[in-house]
Amino acid sequence: MSSGGGVVNIGLVAGMAGVLAACAATKQRPSGGADAAAGAGALAGSSGAARGGSGGATGSGTAGSSTTDGPGRVIGADALGDAACATATQRAEQLPLDIYVMMDSSGSMLDLVSTTTTTTKWAAVRAALIAFVQDPQSAGIGVGLQYFPLVQPGVPETCETAAECAGFGPCEILRTCSMTPTVTACASNADCRGGGGTCVRLGVCGASGGYCAPPGGACSTAANDQCLAIAGYCVARDKCDVPSYTAPAVEVAPLPGSAAALVSSLNQHMPDGLTPTAAALAGAVAHAQALARANPTHKVVVLLATDGLPSECTPTDIAGVAAIAATAHTGNPTVSTYVIGVFAPDDMAAAQANLDALATAGGTGRAFIVGTNSQNVTQSFIAALNAVRTSSLACQYAVPAAAGNGGQVDYFSVNVQFTSGAGQTVTVGNVKNRAACSATQGGWYYDADPAAGGTPQTISICDTSCAQMRADPQGRVDVLLGCKTIIIVE
């Protein structure tokens, strides 16, 4: 529909999200829109195969045959029977948790959380993070922080020519075919053949919001509702190299000691730029894996917090970014990725589907999506952070020291036992490593294979078993020493 000055008010077509995200840098983009367009049987019973002692014994004291499968490894029909053979039972000690937060600080974070407030998404999320790191319940957790995008120094926020980009151009000017009801990206008039009109600069309505073309005319009869040109953006202004995001703004360190540095950093940082999700996530998981290697008795996770989908730095598709999270989750050491998104209500369904793909690939199942207009963003974000804290603390434990024998554990006589909130006790079967986790029976595994001469320090619960444990917050996990290890044989 056209109004004064020949301006056309136009809608947004899916697929333009990446291009139009550049509007965020000009603080002229309307809220939302472009960013968002883009088992049963896991806990084994008390019967199963048994793993022999460190000397390679083939199991005794139980009925049934057995065969060996390497030093100290016995498979067959041997059973744990009961806990009478156990020399010690210890409550499983959760590993210390470290969280590396990769925080979206793109220009769209300066959008208001609703039309009835002056609070921006950035202010709301910053308040939530500050409350989380100052919460006494977070004491002992390690937290570190980096932002994305990181921008090249000396490059202007906007541009009109490539020369202004100081070598980080060209200057990208958003254009659309005129006389069309939707944004249709173009570079020249030739791109508009068949649809009518010419290739003109894209604008945004100053008062009513929404996109328009060409700039200069009136979008409506409302006061100050002119079609304003969207400023250009230097395409190489935001950093896309992974090492930039590997280095933290604030290094991971235990709370509450690290809280002051985190709060200071958050208060001094301001949003700017686009959304290089792939580079940011790759840098985050690289740093988290380095921390995990340096601290093998810690559980290290990445928390990706964002208000948009990838808009620059390849890959920009969700599948490509999800592959980064999947590689970290299946790697050694394994690093899980949690995702929290902040979106306008109209964008939440698309955001949920896309960010769920990242969380699933990262081993955390489902993203936390916080709505803006319909929710208290700060409180909802705090609730998501608390859920991440609770979930992350589950399913990884320290190998306990044995009483006597210099604290040396017989790694082939260790069992993991789960007691439900209702008092039902079951034994979780052992598997050789993460790759051997059973899709139906779950299991647990050491971080190092003692049969190959390794010295285990941690016990990790397979995803299938872990899901059942998380579903029963009143349950408890114990480590039993002295009984031959029950293993899963499929």
- Whether residues 246 and 201 share a domain: the answer is no
- Whether residues 198 and 338 share a domain: the answer is no
Question: How much is the pTM?
Answer: 0.76
- Whether residues 310 and 345 share a domain: the answer is yes
For residue 123, is it within any domain? yes
For residue 132, is it within any domain? yes
How does pLDDT run across 334-382, given as a tens digit for each residue? 999 999 999 999 899 999 999 999 999 999 989 999 999 878 999 999 9
Residue range 131-149: average pLDDT? 97
pLDDT at 407 over 90: no
- Whether residues 464 and 412 share a domain: the answer is yes
CB-side exposure of 2: number of CA atoms within 13 Å?
11
How does pLDDT run across 426-485, given as a tens digit for each residue? 999 999 998 899 999 999 999 999 999 999 999 999 989 998 888 887 889 999 998 999
**Euclidean distance between CA atoms 206 and 424, whole angstroms:** 64
pLDDT at 207 over 80: yes
Could you list the residue range(s) of the whole structural domain that residue 309 is in?
111-149+241-393
CB within 8 Å of 286: residues ≥ 6 apart: 242, 246
- Whether residues 202 and 126 share a domain: the answer is no
- Whether residues 403 and 443 share a domain: the answer is yes
Taking the CA atoms of 363, 364, 370 and 376 in sequence, report the sign of the dihedral they define.
negative
Question: Do the beta carbons of residue 461 and residue 444 sit within 8 Å?
Answer: yes
- Whether residues 132 and 203 share a domain: the answer is no
> Pick from 365, 393, 421: which residue ends a domain?
393
- Whether residues 262 and 329 share a domain: the answer is yes
- Whether residues 421 and 473 share a domain: the answer is yes
> Pick from 373, 393, 413: which residue ends a domain?
393
Residue range 388-412: average pLDDT? 82
Instruction: Say how many domains are in the chain.
Output: 3
- Whether residues 416 and 470 share a domain: the answer is yes
Residue among 30, 31, 38, 48 at smallest CA distance from 13:
38
Strands 97-104 and 142-148: parallel
Q: Give per-residue burial for 443-473: e unless 16+ CB within 10 Å, then b.
A: bbbbbbebbeeeebebbbbbbbbbbbbeeee
Which is higher by pLDDT, 25 or 10?
10
pLDDT at 404 over 60: no
CB-side exposure of 126: number of CA atoms within 13 Å?
20
- Whether residues 248 and 378 share a domain: the answer is yes
> Pick from 340, 358, 393: which residue ends a domain?
393
- Whether residues 214 and 322 share a domain: the answer is no
In single-letter form, the type of residue at position 19 comes to V
